Structure 1
Amino acid sequence: MDNLDYADAVLFGQRWEGKAFVGADFTEADMRGMETVNCTFTDCTFDRTDLGDSKHRASAFRSCKFDRAVLNGATFDSCTLLGSMFVECSMRPIHLTETDLTLVGWTGARVPKIDLTGARLREANLEGANLKDATLRDADLTGARLREANLTGADLRGARLDANSLVAATLTGARVDLDTAVAFAAAHGLRVG
């Protein structure tokens, strides 16, 4: 396990492979252009950290806190962000491929047009998030909290959603499959058939 104090560290462009961190502090660190491969970050703090244009492959960020972090242009490929909290972060654009977002906290996140095809967002907190025109095809949103989430124009075909989510989120112009349309009608008190 590596050093726990990386506050204000300049780690620009570094490549880390197979490192493990528990409770490490990366507050205000410069991690732009950094690459992590098969690294594990557990209960780490990324407050005001600049992760712009960083690349992460097969890395795990478990129960980490990102407060006002910069993630513009960051790429997460085959990663997990299980239980991590993102507060007032800059995430446009952020690229997520086969990344587990189970229990992630994206309250109020602004990520319109994001591609979350097939994403695992089980029990994620997306309250007040702006996911306008997002692609959520085949995404698993089971148990996700979507109160006041903006899913206007989102592609939800094949997505798994709870009835409560269909009532709580704004879905104007969203594209859905027949099963979701029937569930939406039932969630709004309509009798189908």
Structure 2
Amino acid sequence: METIGEDYRDSDLHGRHWEQRHFTDCDFGDADLRGLVTSGCTFTRCDFTRADLGESKHKATAFRSCTFDRTTLTDSDFVACSLIGSTFLDCRLRPLTLRDTDLTLVGMTGAALRTTTLTGLRFREANLIEADLRDTDLREADLSGARLRGANLSGADLRGARITADGLVQANLRGARVDLDTAVAFAAAHGLVID
């Protein structure tokens, strides 16, 4: 079922179960989506401004270039999902579960993700400027090309993570756990000569 340009603002969609539904250019602003369950759905260029998606569960669902502005996502689960190109502004995110999810090109400036498990996630070219990623588990995560200026990764576990030289220079990595390859890349990014 495909829905295009529908206005769901202020709608009560609490606890709905959606499978194989497709939404394009729909407005979910201020909607009550608490407890929403989706499977195999797609949301393209949809607006979730001030929507309540708390306790929602999403499996194999794509949110493509969607806007999450002051959206509540606490206690939500995203498993095998795609959030490519979506933007998160001043959202309530913790606690949040993300497993096998693609966050390529996502905009999460200033996002509060402290102590979140982000193992193996794809953050390629993501905007994580000034994000709070303290004590996060980013093992095996792909941060290639991610913008990390002012991001706080202190105490984060970055073992096996892919991170570019710019990220190693621009982020706060005090106390982060890294593997040998990342330690060498960090030293080189800071101008050290390794013999």
Distance 2:79 2:182 in 1: 29
Which 5+ residue runs of structure 1 have no aligned equivalent?
none
Aligned equivalent of 1:6, options 2, 5, 8: 8
With the length of structure 2 as denominator, give the TM-score of the two structures. 0.98
Question: C-alpha offsets along residues 41-84 of structure 1, whole Å, 9 cap, x if unaligned?
Answer: 00000000000000000000000000000000010000000000
Note the C-alpha offset of 1:131: 0.3
Note the C-alpha offset of 1:2: 1.9
Moved over 4 A (4+): none
Note the C-alpha offset of 1:8: 0.4
Paired AA for residue 123 in structure 1: E
Distance 2:79 2:139 in 1: 18
Distance 2:8 2:68 in 1: 14
Map residues 173-188 of structure 1 onto 2, 5 A cutoff.
Answer: 173-188=175-190
Equivalent residue pairs, number? 193
**SS of the residue 2:38 aligns to:** strand
Distance 1:6 1:37 in 2: 19
What's 1:101 paired with? 103
Map residues 24-103 of structure 1 onto 2, 5 A cutoff.
Answer: 24-103=26-105
Paired AA for residue 3 in structure 2: D
Paired AA for residue 46 in structure 2: C
Distance 2:149 2:51 in 1: 28
Distance 2:93 2:163 in 1: 24
Distance 2:108 2:56 in 1: 19
What's 2:124 paired with? 122
The Cα RMSD (Å) is 0.6
Give the structure with the higher percent strand.
Answer: 2
Question: C-alpha offsets along residues 117-144 of structure 1, whole Å, 9 cap, x if unaligned?
Answer: 1001000000000000000000000000
What's 2:171 paired with? 169
